[in-house]
Structure 1
């Protein structure tokens, strides 16, 4: 059902997604969709979680191949972030926007950001002389910068390769010894 929901968002936008449209697209009865997700917000949260899980897995996989060098680690982090965005398309921002104002969404996003930040900190800590709290805050800022750069890239203002290069440089300069 999540594949069908993602197709609706991709083809018609997040506003067109409801449990009724999902049931029709997925070829299931309305009660099945309601039993599985309960609410539209529940469905959107499940989609958002799926996308975030993909982001995190791509990052973990990339870092698993990283040589022990800051520039290479920064490059892998940057490529993983922007390649994942390119592969997932515009659905993630649309789903996130549809959930704005939801307390549950805010809590879920916070937990996902914390996980992503933790992964970044663990990967960058060997290359940094920053105290643990300062490194974490630096990673928070870097992730915010990545999101801003991603918006520029998604709006067609910069090329993906430029986004990757700039973010990689920011990472290396921010935590380098």
Structure 2
């Protein structure tokens, strides 16, 4: 045996680099999204996630505690990406009703398409328990208030109602999910959502005119 071979044989194995808690969370979320993409939301359990991620079950339980906690973390992950895209789009859009409505519509649809068919399953699962539904509602409220804030300057002093915003969100979810399922094109989804947002603001402006 050569000296080189002996040195290799006797050298200690290189230790595996331990991921930081933040990096481990990112890894687990990425693997969870992949499971949903390939096998559907029903296949996602904490034990299966541990197996696919190559970690022990306690690692996964330490991050999410329950399957509900994992689903909530996935929704937060999606919402964080959606928020970044939406904020950047609004910050750089033309300061007009057409410009603002266009970026809201396209950014919403693009975010859902970026996540593929996985997010509808997560959203459906979020509605399965009161706790998860509460999380979804909290994030929806933040999104709707953001839309109200950026659209209000174009409503001529009229009130953009909560009912109108809820109708817009319902349209946004239905259209983007239809696009994700290839029932309609992304362009069709964005255009229809754009028209819905314009109509929402125009109704608010009309009510202000009638009230004066």
Matched residue count: 176
Q: Distance in 2 between matches of 1:157 and 1:7?
A: 22
Is 1:158 aligned with 2:158?
no
Q: Is the radius of gyration larger for structure 1 or structure 2? A: 2
Aligned partner of 1:9 among 36, 46, 50: 36
Tell whether the 8 Å contact from 1:62 to 1:80 is kept in structure 2 after alignment.
Answer: yes
Paired with 1:46 and 1:155, the residues of 2 have a C-alpha distance of: 24
Quick one: higher RCO (CA 8 Å, sep 6+), 1 or 2? 1
Matching of residue 139 in structure 1 with residue 170 in structure 2: no
Aligned to 1:25: 52
**Secondary structure in 2 aligned to 1:76?**
helix
**Hey, what's the Cα distance between the residues in 2 that align with 1:9 and 1:26?**
14
Would you say the 8 A contact 2:108–2:176 is kept in 1? no
Structure 1 unaligned segments of length 5 or more: list them. Answer: none
Structure 2 residue runs without a partner (length 5+): 1-27, 206-212
| CA positional deviation for 1:86 | 1.0
- TM-score (normalizing by structure 1): 0.92
* Residue 114 of structure 2 is aligned to residue 87 of structure 1: yes
The separation in 2 between residues aligned to 1:37 and 1:144, in whole angstroms, is: 29
Distance 1:130 1:136, change over 3 A: farther
Aligned to 2:22: none
Q: What is the CA distance between 1:131 and its match in structure 2?
A: 4.2
TM-score (norm 2): 0.78
CA contact (8 A) 1:135 1:175 kept: no
